[in-house]
């Protein structure tokens, strides 16, 4: 195999083009640095490669999922839990489903644009309940960068002043859909708060990007760039500086280091020619996703870093977290047979239920929020599957549910859009015992050693999801609906998702002031290699229950600003 070393020495090499990598590249290139970015997948442009406005009937699959597109064939994210030639393994008896994107923009092409700030409590969990650790920084340290992200990217929401849900610089939110108003009425009966959602989707033109046109298809890639993804918001201005070079199809192998143990660049396999390359750089920023970043560091062994780069503490890969998840759905007689209306809206709910149990006595740590789904969306594969379980709920049918013919045909029309669901997303407590490590026996098709996962939920997570199940079920009843599925038992884990399924992985390369306990300092700079930084979800000390992207963006900007300061001071 040839090994090709780039003649250029860049100021910064960034691994990953998603939220963390895109933001780091944007800030650093704007500040005058020459930046090279490695992306494991191909280039991708939502305007030309996405499927916005594609009718499901144009495909014989009618939008069904495939292994390559687990969220539907028109989904705008290339990747999934299984990628051919890129295996991962598990400790016996454990589960971790690892979703990876392989494309420009990474998983910013796959997310609900739910952009919740971590609040003051989310940075000091240990102080509040003795579990996990506090962050070395507080909300007030990150707040200025949250503000900057709001202003650069654009986000809608309402300034609610709700506990531990800091307000941002919001655009006006869209009015709720019919089923969302029904949720609000039911929640009000229970004393459960409902807020306007906070999504990074433009409800008016912002920084040269047009407003949303309410087709509900953010997940397919927005051709007008009216929502946030790294390639639509961060990479164009970075490229316009003339100082960003993007190398696509570059599967990073390891961070190269010199005799002092400082980073000198990144080696990678070019997926097109399968040859080995190295880009050289004075500073390395890792933003490959929490687990890929940990894998890169653990694979970057050298005499100075025998356990892997930035791993003098031995905790790289540890404290791996995902959100907990569970879904409950109900069917609602009020919504049956309603007058047709365009309910597409933005690509996500217009409302959400924040964590409301923070001041209640309960038998578990940390909280969750509820995401709401429903409405008369574009019919796709699976349309009203299982109708025989519900078409006798609101009408007397002597023979029960099911049937065929004219009556059934009318039932489909009437039941369309009558289901409303609640998906809980909860905080998992950070634990040393939940980790990924290098599997000594398995390599991927590039010859790069792969990760082995060992992750388990604890009672904190199970009991939290039990609470979420019960609250969601009570909501369905308060709204006057019928719950579609029985309450899962304790033996069924109360219906908790497999870890990894919610795709909020964080915490493998955490921050901390003590180099013996954390790989990174309070600026996400490696304690034992001063020119190595991490800007994805890996530095998170806790997960909160909140979708991670907004915090990744704010933290990445903060870290990149710090890199600029260090560079200007000659400290790198």
Partner 1 sequence: MDRRESLKLLALALSATAPGVLTAAGCRWTASDAERAAREAEEARSRGDFSPQFFTDEEYETVRILADLIIPADDRSGSATDAGVPEFMDFIVTDMPDMQDPMRQGLAWLDVYARERFGASFAACSDAQRVDLVDAIAWPEDADPALEDGVNFFNFFRDLTASGFWTTEAGMADLGYMGNVFVAEWTGARKSEIERLGLSEAPWETL
Site for partner 1 in 339-378 (CB under 8 A): 339-346, 351, 371, 373-378
If one asks whether residue 76 binds partner 1 (CB under 8 A), the answer comes out as no
If one asks whether residue 215 binds partner 1 (CB under 8 A), the answer comes out as yes
With beta carbons less than 8 A apart as the criterion, state whether 168 and 117 touch. yes
If one asks whether residue 48 binds partner 1 (CB under 8 A), the answer comes out as no
With beta carbons less than 8 A apart as the criterion, state whether 288 and 296 touch. yes
If one asks whether residue 485 binds partner 1 (CB under 8 A), the answer comes out as yes
If one asks whether residue 67 binds partner 1 (CB under 8 A), the answer comes out as yes
Residue from 566, 557, 497 nearest 532 by CA: 566
- Count of residues in the chain: 572
Q: Which of residues 163-202 bind partner 1 (CB under 8 A)?
A: 172-178, 180-182, 184-185, 195-196
Instruction: Indicate which single residue of 5, 32, 412, 447 sits in contact with partner 1 (rule: CB under 8 A).
Output: 412
Q: Which of residues 218-247 bind partner 1 (CB under 8 A)?
A: 219
Minimum CB separation of residue 317 from partner 1 in Å reads 25
If one asks whether residue 381 binds partner 1 (CB under 8 A), the answer comes out as yes
Instruction: Indicate which single residue of 4, 68, 144, 571 sits in contact with partner 1 (rule: CB under 8 A).
Output: 68
Give the residue with the Cβ less far from partner 1, 81 or 126: 81
Minimum CB separation of residue 501 from partner 1 in Å reads 6
If one asks whether residue 203 binds partner 1 (CB under 8 A), the answer comes out as yes
Rounded to whole angstroms, the Cα distance separating 332 from 271 reads 50
If one asks whether residue 331 binds partner 1 (CB under 8 A), the answer comes out as yes
If one asks whether residue 154 binds partner 1 (CB under 8 A), the answer comes out as no
Minimum CB separation of residue 488 from partner 1 in Å reads 4
247 by Cβ neighbours in 10 Å (0-12 / 13-18 / 19+) ranks as middle
Residue from 7, 571, 477 nearest 281 by CA: 7
Binding mask 442-471 for partner 1 (x = CB under 8 A): ------------------------------
Residue from 556, 529, 503 nearest 70 by CA: 503
Give the residue with the Cβ less far from partner 1, 138 or 210: 210
With beta carbons less than 8 A apart as the criterion, state whether 377 and 220 touch. no
Tokens representing 323 are: 């959100």
Helix orientation angle between 549-568 and 19-30, rounded to the nearest 10 degrees: 30
If one asks whether residue 132 binds partner 1 (CB under 8 A), the answer comes out as no
Binding mask 98-127 for partner 1 (x = CB under 8 A): --------------x---------------
Binding mask 491-510 for partner 1 (x = CB under 8 A): -x--x-x---xx--------
Using the rule CB under 8 A, give the single segment among 34-42, 287-295, 355-363, 489-497 that binds partner 1.
489-497
**CA distance to 254, 267, 288, per residue, from 447 (Å):** 12, 13, 18
Give the residue with the Cβ less far from partner 1, 255 or 349: 349
Minimum CB separation of residue 120 from partner 1 in Å reads 23
Minimum CB separation of residue 171 from partner 1 in Å reads 9
Query: Which strands sit side by side in the sheet containing 482-483, from one edge to the other?
Result: 195-196, 351-353, 368-374, 419-426, 324-331, 482-483
If one asks whether residue 205 binds partner 1 (CB under 8 A), the answer comes out as no
Tokens representing 17 are: 């083009």
Using the rule CB under 8 A, give the single segment among 31-39, 130-138, 245-253, 410-418 that binds partner 1.
410-418
If one asks whether residue 214 binds partner 1 (CB under 8 A), the answer comes out as yes
Q: Per DSSP, which regions of 494-559 are E strands?
A: 532-534
Minimum CB separation of residue 342 from partner 1 in Å reads 4
Rounded to whole angstroms, the Cα distance separating 495 from 326 reads 6
Give the residue with the Cβ less far from partner 1, 7 or 405: 405
Give the residue with the Cβ less far from partner 1, 129 or 414: 414
Residue 255 region, left (φ>0) first, then alpha (ψ -120 to 50), else beta? beta
Give the residue with the Cβ less far from partner 1, 91 or 483: 483
Rounded to whole angstroms, the Cα distance separating 560 from 110 reads 24
Give the residue with the Cβ less far from partner 1, 237 or 379: 379
Q: Which of residues 309-328 bind partner 1 (CB under 8 A)?
A: 325, 327-328
Minimum CB separation of residue 386 from partner 1 in Å reads 4
Rounded to whole angstroms, the Cα distance separating 442 from 454 reads 16
Minimum CB separation of residue 84 from partner 1 in Å reads 12
Question: Dihedral of CA 15/19/25/31: which sign?
Answer: negative
Rounded to whole angstroms, the Cα distance separating 229 from 211 reads 15
Tokens representing 125 are: 């969990």
Task: Looking at 255-405, list the stretches that DSSP marks H as alpha helix, in order from N- to C-terminal side.
Answer: 290-299
Residues 6+ apart with CB under 8 A from 109: 44, 46, 76, 77, 78, 101, 103, 221, 229, 231
If one asks whether residue 387 binds partner 1 (CB under 8 A), the answer comes out as yes
The CA-to-CA distance between both ends of the chain, in Å, stands at: 33
């Amino acid at each position: 195999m040839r090994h090709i070393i780039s003649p250029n020495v860049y100021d910064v090499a960034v691994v990953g083009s998603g939220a963390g990598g895109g933001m780091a590249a944007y800030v650093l290139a704007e500040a005058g640095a020459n930046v090279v970015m490695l992306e494991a997948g191909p280039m991708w442009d939502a305007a030309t490669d996405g499927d916005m406005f594609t009718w499901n009937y144009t495909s014989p699959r009618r939008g069904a999922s495939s292994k390559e597109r687990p969220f539907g064939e028109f989904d705008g994210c290339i990747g999934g839990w299984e990628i051919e030639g890129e295996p991962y393994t598990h400790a016996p008896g454990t589960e971790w489903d690892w979703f990876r994107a392989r494309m420009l923009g990474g998983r910013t092409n796959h997310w609900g644009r739910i952009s919740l700030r971590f609040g003051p409590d989310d940075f000091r969990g240990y102080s509040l309940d003795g579990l996990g650790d506090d962050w070395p920084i507080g909300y007030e340290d990150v707040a200025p960068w949250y503000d900057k992200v709001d202003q650069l990217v654009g986000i809608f929401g309402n300034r609610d002043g709700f506990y531990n849900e800091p307000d941002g610089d919001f655009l006006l939110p869209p009015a709720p859909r019919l089923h969302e108003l029904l949720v609000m009425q039911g929640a009000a009966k229970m004393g459960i708060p409902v807020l306007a959602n906070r999504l990074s989707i433009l409800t008016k033109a912002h920084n040269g990007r047009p407003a949303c046109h309410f087709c509900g298809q953010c997940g397919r890639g927005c051709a007008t760039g009216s929502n946030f993804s790294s390639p639509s918001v961060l990479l164009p201005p970075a490229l316009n500086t003339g100082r960003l070079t993007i190398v696509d199809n570059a599967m990073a192998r390891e961070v190269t280091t010199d005799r002092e143990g400082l980073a000198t660049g990144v080696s990678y396999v070019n997926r097109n020619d399968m040859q080995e390359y190295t880009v050289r750089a004075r500073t390395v920023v890792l933003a490959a996703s929490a687990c890929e970043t940990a894998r890169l560091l653990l694979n970057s062994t050298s005499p100075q870093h025998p356990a892997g780069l930035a791993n003098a503490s031995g905790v790289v890969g540890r404290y791996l977290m995902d959100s907990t998840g569970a879904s409950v759905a109900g069917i609602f007689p009020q919504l049956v047979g309603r007058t047709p209306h365009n309910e597409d809206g933005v690509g996500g709910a217009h409302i959400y239920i924040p964590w409301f149990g923070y001041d209640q006595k309960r038998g578990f740590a940390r909280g969750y929020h509820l995401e709401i789904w429903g409405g008369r969306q574009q019919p796709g594969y699976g349309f009203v599957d299982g109708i025989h379980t519900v078409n006798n709920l609101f009408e007397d049918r002597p023979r029960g549910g099911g049937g065929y013919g004219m009556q059934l045909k009318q039932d489909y029309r009437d039941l369309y859009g009558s289901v409303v669901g609640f998906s809980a997303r909860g905080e998992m407590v950070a634990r040393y015992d939940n980790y990924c490590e290098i599997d000594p026996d398995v390599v991927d098709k590039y010859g790069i050693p792969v990760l082995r996962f060992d992750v388990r939920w604890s009672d904190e997570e199970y009991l939290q999801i039990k609470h979420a199940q019960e609250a969601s079920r009570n909501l369905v009843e308060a709204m006057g609906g019928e719950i579609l599925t029985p309450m899962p038992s304790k033996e069924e884990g109360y219906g908790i998702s497999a870890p990894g399924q919610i795709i909020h992985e964080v915490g493998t390369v955490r921050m901390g002031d003590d180099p013996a306990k954390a790989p990174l300092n309070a600026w996400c700079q490696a304690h034992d290699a001063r020119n190595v930084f991490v800007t994805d979800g890996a530095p998170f000390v806790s997960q909160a229950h909140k979708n991670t992207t907004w915090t990744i963006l704010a933290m990445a900007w903060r870290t990149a600003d710090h890199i600029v300061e260090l560079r200007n001071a000659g400290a790198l």
